[in-house]
Amino acid sequence: MFFEGSEKKIEVIVTPGCGSLRELGKAFWTEMVASANAEILSSISNEKCDAYLLSESSLFVWHDRFLMLTCGTTNLANAALRFIEQIGSDNIAFASYQRKNEYLSHLQSSAFADDLERIRARLPGNAYRIGHLDSHHHYIYTSSKPFQAAADDVTSELLMYHIRGEAADYLRAENQSAAEIRRLLTLDAMLPGFEFDDFLFEPFGYSINGICGERYMTIHITPQENSSYVSFETNLPLEGEHAQLFARLLAILNPGSWDVIGFNSGCNTQGFPAHLCLGSCALQTEQGYNIDFSHYQQLCHEVLIPEPM
């Protein structure tokens, strides 16, 4: 069974005069999520953030911003445009829209170029492709309004492909449990102090959100053997006790290749499995976001078997 695991992502920061986005209430976000053809499954909250687990990925809402990821065949651009219409473009200080190339792009309801045209009509901005066109690559749009990113506004993404090993086998097995997946991923040890909310899909697939103050993390796993995909994202600074976070996840999930994308977050490859860096690039936006992208391939990862047609 095939499922398109790669995500589309929108992040919006509103102006101070807009008021708190958290006060818009769950009904507002439920409707916006539905416009992307997804639904809210559950949520957790603390004094800084509301985290919604979706049928296709996640939504995080802070007082001055929100972040929404959707996968499958969802149309996240619809949700982005609905938010702009409801809030008004004058109340948006900064927006970014990110989309990875899909395995089966012909099943999507739109392409990035279509999304970009619609979003730019309401909110002018710049767009780029990062990565190889004939391999894993990402499209990124950022609004062009005057704005200056805070020094601690960081995001780090680890996107893993073709996972193997004990954890991968369990993620494809019958009679899984969310508790056992959390144990395999060692999340309590890696992220002490986080409150988690997770969901195990049928027949397989797993999502988890975590929040600790204003910090968040999210993992989405599509374990299908021929098209496995795992995404991890956080706004934790990857230093100190969290410096080896990516390396530990790579050791557990053992992907054949992976992307690292950082927004004002450098990449520390210490502890990574033996690999080749097949490509990297850096992009600096006018608003002060330094975007770094690298694509890695693990050495001697798997033997390919011809498949009869």
The answer to whether residue 109 is domain-embedded is yes
Main-chain dihedrals φ then ψ at residue 45, nearest 5 degrees? -145, 155
Question: Are the C-beta atoms of 59 and 29 separated by less than 8 Å?
Answer: yes
| Beta bridge mates, 233 | 157, 218
The answer to whether residue 232 is domain-embedded is yes
pTM score: 0.94
Check residue 39 and give its pLDDT. Answer: 96
DSSP 6-48: --EEEEEEE-GGG--GGGG-HHHHHHHHHHTT--EEEEEE-SS
Question: What is the count of structural domains for the chain?
Answer: 1
> Domain containing 272 — which CATH number?
3.60.90.10
Q: Which residues of the chain have pLDDT under 50?
A: none
Check residue 303 and give its pLDDT. Answer: 63
- In this structure, what token pair is assigned to residue 74? 């969802």
Check residue 201 and give its pLDDT. Answer: 93
Domain hosting 284: range is: 8-298
Check residue 109 and give its pLDDT. Answer: 75
The answer to whether residue 123 is domain-embedded is yes
The answer to whether residue 122 is domain-embedded is yes
The answer to whether residue 224 is domain-embedded is yes
Task: Give the helix, strand, coil percentages of the chain, each rounded to 5.
Answer: 25, 40, 35
The answer to whether residue 95 is domain-embedded is yes
Helix (H) or strand (E) segment spanning residue 256: strand 255-263
| Cβ neighbourhood burial of 162 (10 Å; 0-12, 13-18, 19+) | buried
Closest CA to 139 of 126, 148, 149: 126
The answer to whether residue 303 is domain-embedded is no
Q: What is the pLDDT of residues 245-303, one digit of tens each?
A: 999 999 999 999 999 999 999 778 999 999 999 999 999 999 999 999 999 999 976 66
The answer to whether residue 119 is domain-embedded is yes
